[in-house]
């Protein structure tokens, strides 16, 4: 009859529990001296970290997500404003102001200039 793996492991653990490890006296003295030195040292206050402090200040990750979404929406409205914003701006200022950043792009898309 063969023993199961669990029985073998249980027997090994039982044998290990009966034996106490022999620690050399000089090693134990050094460990205890290091522990005593650690108790005597003053404990420095932790430095405040910037990012966790900022997160706590604004309300955590949900607030960061809201700020990111508001920033993206602001950039989007700034680059490609809806018609209602252009109308409101025209009513407020008197005439709409638009700047064409790319200029005339019809030459770039002429059939003669495309490879193919």
CA-angle at 106, arms to 100 and 107, nearest 5°: 115
Could you report the per-residue pLDDT of 87-112, keeping only the tens digit for each?
887 788 776 567 777 777 766 666 65
Q: Give the pTM.
A: 0.35
When pLDDT is averaged across residues 60-84 and rounded to a whole number, the result is 89
> Nearest to residue 96, comparing CAs of 87, 105, 104?
87
What are the residue boundaries of the structural domains of the chain, listed by start?
A: 50-113
Phi, psi of 38 (to 5 degrees): -70, -30
Residue 100's Cβ-side half-sphere holds a number of Cα atoms within 13 Å equal to 4
């Amino acid at each position: 009859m063969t023993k199961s793996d669990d029985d073998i492991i249980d027997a090994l653990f039982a044998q290990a529990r009966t034996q106490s490890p022999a620690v050399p006296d000089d090693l134990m003295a050094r460990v205890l001296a290091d522990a005593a030195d650690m108790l005597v040292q003053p404990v420095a206050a932790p430095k405040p970290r910037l990012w966790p402090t900022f997160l706590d200040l604004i309300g955590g990750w949900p607030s960061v997500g809201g700020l990111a979404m508001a920033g993206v929406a602001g950039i989007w409205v700034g680059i490609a404003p809806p018609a209602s914003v252009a109308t409101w701006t025209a009513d407020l200022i008197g005439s709409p102001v638009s700047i064409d950043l790319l200029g005339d792009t019809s030459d770039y898309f002429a059939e003669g200039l495309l490879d193919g």
